[in-house]
Structure 1
Amino acid sequence: MYKRTLSRPKVKRNRIKIVRNSSRVITRAHIPDISRIPKIIGRVLKLSEESAEDLLLHINHHFLARHKDIESIFTRNYGKVCQYIPEQPELSKTKKLLIGAFFTMEYSIESAALFNPSIVPHPNQEGLPEGAIRFVMSLRATGEGHISSIVFRSGTIKADHTFLINQVSEYVDTPRIRHDQSYDRHLFQLKLESMHAWNETSILVFENLETAFTFEELKSCIVALQVNTELTIDKEAIKNIYWLADSNYFIRFEPDHDISEHVIFPLSENEIRGIEDARFVKFVDEKGKITYYATYTAYNGVCILPQLLETKDFINFDIITLNGKAAQNKGMALFPRKVNGKYAMLSRIDGENNYIMFSDHLHFWDEAIIIQQPAMPWEFFQIGNCGSPLELDEGWLVLTHGVGAMRQYFIGAILLDLEDPTKIISRLEEPLLTPNEEEREGYVPNVVYSCGAMIHNDRLIVPYAMSDITSGIATVGISELLAYMKPCS
């Protein structure tokens, strides 16, 4: 342990600012009430072929350069409304694309804010100069209607802690659902049991499924039961099965696209109003196998639900529900390895205090132990974590956030025992980061906040949000930080 000093650690705020860019847009289906769909289609069908070609040419002139494959987008959205087209001779490709265009809209993912970052080492560390490290940064992007998604940046930290942020692509793309992936029957059953949704109807559905099954196979089994007039089916059980399948899904980005083009936009019903505050961590299992996980908050406009992202390459992602009595509220942050043979997770189940949880299974969390309550004036209102713990020889370094008077957010730190992380070894009595005059103005004023830091060459790298609108990076020496922390009895 470092000898305690009264000298405050010198926090260096980097000049780099990661700012929102309203020109980065994705496309979304723009489908109105069903009664209007045939009317819109009818208006397109009445156009002459020449007029349709001129109109499509005009649309392409304005939007072709903003998206990598606008034709496939129009074709995909045409497929979502083509059942409303009255029977008639085969439509021309022009009119199909034109119909698709009328049911497509652009959405500016970063138009409101770009904030709450987390940072992890990049999976690819090849070709770097000595002492440098490549990183991936995730951020919460918020656009029209305050819908949040996850976006990415990448870059390099040189040996002298110079930051190089890679150029951001002008294109943005949402992933494709991976229909080739399968569900684990036993795990699916455990999750239904955790939801108190395993009953006679559920048993009937799953007795005809293999140990690994696809969504289409699940759907076929459900439909087969529904058309059997001799059976009484629990509609609520069927609803819960579909909900669980919808909440656990698989997505894939194009591997040749830059990581800055990737945006994880809400796809399931339980996150339709936003994916918030992803806390990424590089997790290493007992065999040295690396997986990147991120806990995030799914919001459907009424309720919040903790979810888990899993990836090895930032191209393919599995989206997983977290279950159990303690899997609730915001701010869950996974430890980067197992502790004493168990998964470990920080949490804030009551919205006020810091907790820790342990589990034999990554998806299930039932018990939470309180480890920290508000003690300093700058955290009297509430405390929480600012991302996953960082392992040092001295212990687990955890960045925390505290909320004080006038809803000011501060970033602090605690050190947990390496073998028993329920114990706090030391802590900062004063904030590490306090919003300065430049950082306190924004969408939510007086806030500095992070979703995850990393360590490089004995310095703590802290990406942080400024008043919920833009982000920056701060660094501080690990030895300075530990020496300033006060031991806890």
Structure 2
Amino acid sequence: MPLNRTEIVLSPNNRRVVLRPFVPPGDDRILRLIARISTLSKDEVDAQLHHVLEEFHGRHQRPREFFLGQYEAMRRHLPTDTAPSENRQLLLGAYFTQEYALESAALFNPSIVWHPNQSNLAVGSRRFVLSLRAVGEGHISSVTFRLGVIDADNQLSIDEPTKFVTTPQFVPDAVYEKDLFLRKLVELELGNPFTDRVLSTLDYDFTLDQLEDSLRTGLREHWPQHHELAPIVEQVVTLAKSNYEITYLPEHELSERLIFPFGPTETNGIEDARFVQFQEEDGSSQYFATYSAYDGKMVLPQLLETQDFLRFKMHTLNGPAISDKGLALFPRKINGNYTMLSRQDGEHLYLMHSEMLHFWHTKQMIVKPTYPWEFVQMGNCGSPIETDSGWLVLTHGVGPMRKYCIGAMLLDLNDPSRVIGRLKEPLLTPNENEREGYVPNVVYSCGSVVHNGHLVLPYAMSDYATTFATIPIDELLSSMI
């Protein structure tokens, strides 16, 4: 089968840095640092601030705004309510700020979808969004983006990213739907008379601040049970903070937008986002991405949604079928249900159906490792692609020496639990140029698209860098047994 490896390689760039909070451990250290800053005279403050701004000039778009935000975050530690001068606020904020090299360790596990804006392109060309898993200091994973075009001859080009990177603004007044939130509480076994009472005081749509106010009121009203209820309150707030919204300013280029871990379930990483353009039953579309949220101890599958790659909503997924990594959402409903591929046991491929996108209760095993190159385990490499012949699913299999290869199979369009075709041999194996990296002997992808009769497959090379391959779709399908 002809497979064309492109010459495009997206490698980690340790010059791409983003401003992040820096908070020394413990209140005592914070207070001592603030005390030391307070000993500086006005002239010393002005000189030190000038030095910082000069030294980091041109590396960030709005450093002063970030410094002031860090000052606000630390203001509660100040000894009085008297506001320092603006320059002292800026300097204090700078002491609680650091640069973070988001992709210094790896830039891998790509996913690709068509861009919502397809204007101003040559005939036969399409613009795409490439998502990438960036790994930096502390092995923290985040999501970064690139913009690209594939032309009528299947030639790919990737826009050079700007030198800036920015994190989003948290949407403080994001709205929660009471029925959905209550159902998530029940799934987490947090539904009880106390939480029922708290939610009954809220409108159908409520904000995080309103929820926290209602929880505080509920604790006061049930003070004799304070010690028993406090852990429940903490878990309710954790659930709310794990379902949040973020937004970017429109002037930020796509390559500048970084989705850095924010929620309590993802403090150590947002891993392996599998983006898909989802077609609603009314003909409209939006983008979803399943991802693995990692808090340093546990991995939880979660869901991201966006319509424009400017505003994102992050959701928890619930139900007994939600576990492990590697969920992949089908690009439309099947027989009236959302449908997802999964791998709950770390070894086999499963299929799930649900009437509600956020809740998954049952699973069905559909594929077992069958060929030597996948004997250890298998999983998906992104959302299924609809073709006239069936649902094309790219898979990964692990064989001897923990070598990862990419394969493919075909599922029935109306009953995707039926496997109607499968490659006996891998579609893609790591070659000599691809086998060396952070994790050797690995090729891996989180999503692909079809263009002009060809599968466009972005893939990671040994958990380090990213490249592309194209494969004629008809020859791929005809090679399945």
Partner of 2:333: 338
Partner of 1:373: 368
Partner of 1:288: 283
Gaps (5+ residues) in structure 1?
1-8
SS at match of 2:57: helix
- Quick one: distance in 2 between partners of 1:366 and 1:223? 33
Instruction: Please tell me whether residue 235 in structure 1 is matched to residue 230 in structure 2.
Output: yes
What letter is aligned with 2:329? L
- Quick one: distance in 2 between partners of 1:479 and 1:47? 71
* Displacement after TM superposition at 1:180 (Å): 2.5
SS at match of 2:406: strand
- Quick one: distance in 2 between partners of 1:154 and 1:87? 48
Of 101, 120, 130, the residue aligned with 2:113 is 120
Question: Normalization by structure 1: what TM-score?
Answer: 0.96
Of 439, 446, 455, the residue aligned with 2:434 is 439
Partner of 1:224: 217
Partner of 1:27: 19
1:57-456 maps to which residues of 2 (within 5 A)? Answer: 57-87=50-80, 90-228=83-221, 232-233=225-226, 234-456=229-451
* Displacement after TM superposition at 1:246 (Å): 1.0
> Quick check: 1:225–1:231 contact (8 Å CA) kept in 2?
no
- Quick one: distance in 2 between partners of 1:270 and 1:48? 43
SS at match of 2:405: strand
> Quick check: 2:334–2:414 contact (8 Å CA) kept in 1?
yes
- Quick one: distance in 2 between partners of 1:235 and 1:74? 34
- Quick one: distance in 1 between partners of 2:300 and 2:136? 21
SS at match of 2:365: strand
Of 5, 17, 28, the residue aligned with 1:13 is 5
* Displacement after TM superposition at 1:235 (Å): 2.2
SS at match of 1:196: coil
Instruction: Please tell me whether residue 41 in structure 1 is matched to residue 41 in structure 2.
Output: no
* Displacement after TM superposition at 1:87 (Å): 2.6
- Quick one: distance in 2 between partners of 1:306 and 1:455? 26
Of 473, 477, 485, the residue aligned with 2:480 is 485
- Quick one: distance in 2 between partners of 1:383 and 1:229? 50
- Quick one: distance in 2 between partners of 1:88 and 1:429? 70
Gaps (5+ residues) in structure 2?
none
- The farther-off stretch of 76-85 and 212-221 is 76-85
- The farther-off stretch of 80-89 and 176-185 is 80-89
Instruction: Please tell me whether residue 52 in structure 1 is matched to residue 45 in structure 2.
Output: yes
* Displacement after TM superposition at 1:90 (Å): 4.0
SS at match of 2:379: strand
What letter is aligned with 1:228? E
* Displacement after TM superposition at 1:64 (Å): 2.5
Partner of 1:6: none
Alignment deviations for residues 93-129 of structure 1 (CA, whole Å, 9 cap, x no partner)? 1111111100101110000000000000000011111
Closer, same or farther: CA 135–88 of 1 in aligned 2, 3 Å: closer
Alignment deviations for residues 138-174 of structure 1 (CA, whole Å, 9 cap, x no partner)? 0000000100000000110000011111120100011
- Quick one: distance in 1 between partners of 2:330 and 2:83? 57
Question: Identity percentage over the alignment?
Answer: 49
* Displacement after TM superposition at 1:229 (Å): 5.4
What letter is aligned with 2:461? M
* Displacement after TM superposition at 1:378 (Å): 0.2
> Quick check: 2:173–2:208 contact (8 Å CA) kept in 1?
no
Closer, same or farther: CA 143–287 of 1 in aligned 2, 3 Å: same
SS at match of 2:58: helix
Partner of 1:4: none
SS at match of 1:323: coil
SS at match of 1:65: coil
Closer, same or farther: CA 56–393 of 1 in aligned 2, 3 Å: same
- The farther-off stretch of 331-340 and 24-33 is 24-33
- Quick one: distance in 2 between partners of 1:87 and 1:169? 42
* Displacement after TM superposition at 1:18 (Å): 0.9
Closer, same or farther: CA 90–304 of 1 in aligned 2, 3 Å: closer
- Quick one: distance in 2 between partners of 1:206 and 1:294? 29
Alignment deviations for residues 43-99 of structure 1 (CA, whole Å, 9 cap, x no partner)? 111111111111111111111311101000100001111222223854211111111
* Displacement after TM superposition at 1:230 (Å): 5.8
> Quick check: 1:201–1:237 contact (8 Å CA) kept in 2?
no
Partner of 1:3: none
Count of residues in Structure 1 that have an aligned counterpart in Structure 2 = 478
SS at match of 2:287: strand
Closer, same or farther: CA 446–49 of 1 in aligned 2, 3 Å: same
* C-alpha RMSD over aligned residues: 1.0
SS at match of 2:111: strand
- Quick one: distance in 2 between partners of 1:236 and 1:267? 21
What letter is aligned with 1:156? V
* Displacement after TM superposition at 1:322 (Å): 0.5
* Displacement after TM superposition at 1:255 (Å): 1.2
SS at match of 2:89: helix
SS at match of 2:198: helix
> Quick check: 2:391–2:410 contact (8 Å CA) kept in 1?
yes
